[in-house]
Structure formats: C-alpha cells, structure tokens
Amino acid sequence: MKATTKQDSLLEQQLALGSYLDALLTGVPTPLVQVTEIQRKAEEQAPVEVQPVQPEQVTVSLADTVPEWAETRFQALLFEVAGLTLAVPLAKLKGVVQNMHGLTEIPGYSSLFPAVMPYQGVQSTVVDTARFVLPPDRAAQLDDDISERAAQLVVVDGGRWSLACSRIGDVIDLEAGQVKWRTAAGKRRWLAGSVIEQMCALLDIDELARQLAEAMA
C-alpha cells in the first residue's frame, strides 16, 4: 500500500472520531454572492450593470493565533492515544516515563484520573488521555483497565500531570507555517492546532493543564 493511501486511511479514522481534526479550527464560511436582477424595458431605461455584493473579508493574523513557544522553529514529541497521534511541544514537556511497574490506583477517583505516580519529588496525577480527548460515545467504549493505554506516560505541567499513552513516537521539527492553528476558543481549548504533514493534533499544554484542573475540581 502506498504511503499516501495509509495517510488517507489514518485521517479518515481520525475524522470519524467526532470530526476530530475539524474541531480544531473555526473556518470562515464562504459567503454567498447576492445579485439583484433589475428588469427594465429597453425603451424606458438604459441597461444597468449589476455589481455583485462583495463578501466581507475576514482576516486572521498568524501572529494572533501562534503561541509564544511557536514563534520560532520548535520541536514536538509525537505519541499515540487510542490510535490517534498527538504532539506535545518539547518546550512544554517535563519528561517521559515507561510504565513498567503499574500504577497506584486511587479509590474513589474518576475514571479520567485513575492513578497517581511519584515523579521527581511530586505526586503526578495520571490522566486517561484517551478518555479525555475522544468524543463521549467513543470514550464510553473504552475498557476500564487502563494498563494498555498507559504503557508510557508523558509528563507535563512541571510534573503535575502524566498523560497516559500507548506508544511514544518521533521528535519532529516544526515551524509555525506547518501548523494549521485554531482561531477560536471552544470545548477543545487544549488543541493548539493540527500539524499539516503528520495529520495530528498539537496540544496546548497550558490550556490542557487548566482544563484538567477544572475537571478535577
């Protein structure tokens, strides 16, 4: 199978998960051109040239949507969550831990925060990332046992959160122009945009940390 076909297949799977990549961005709708027909008899009035109504131009500056860490060339680490590829900026990454000894489950905690893990002197809360990023109908189908989804842990926000993932991928070099940045806030504030070539979601770790704190409160 050609590489292009594999990429198209992956993108289709991602789009099927609640229009995953489409939810990253707010597009500007294409306005309709309105033309008023003016009918006049030739002997009563000279022909009238009808000018189409020009659509309002909506311009979004790249500088208004690019976070500070992406103003210059930056790197991001790819990782997989329930078959989806996510990317975390290295500037916002605290570390990566291989989950070799299991997790300390917390009785009474929600399924979104199933465990804690000691990390460099702090108790890092483990996040079931798949349950957080997937649409509710897909998240409801996840197995209660997080072990397979937490083979690796991506530690962010100074160690406060450990994002469970099934596999760690490559580190990629990026420039702002290689990312389709989101232009409006929404439910998925933790999504900074989509990396065009890799067809994956780039995380906004600051917003992610805020949303996790809100969910835990």
* pLDDT tens-place string over residues 10-51: 445 554 543 555 554 554 433 333 333 334 443 454 454 545
Q: Which residues share a beta bridge with 98?
A: 152
Instruction: State how far the Cα of 210 lies from the Cα of 217, in Å rounded to an integer.
Output: 11
Under a CB-based contact definition with an 8 Å cutoff, are residues 184 and 191 in contact? no
120, 132, 184 from 136: Cα distances, Å: 33, 9, 22
* pLDDT tens-place string over residues 133-186: 999 999 999 998 888 999 999 999 999 999 999 999 999 999 999 999 988 766
pTM of the model: 0.74
Name the strand (E) or helix (H) holding 173. strand 167-174
If phi > 0 it is left, if psi is from -120 to 50 it is alpha, else beta; for residue 157 that is left
Under a CB-based contact definition with an 8 Å cutoff, are residues 191 and 154 in contact? no
Q: Report residue 89: phi and psi, to 5°.
A: -60, 135
Q: Average pLDDT, whole number, for the chain?
A: 79
Amino acid identity of 184? A
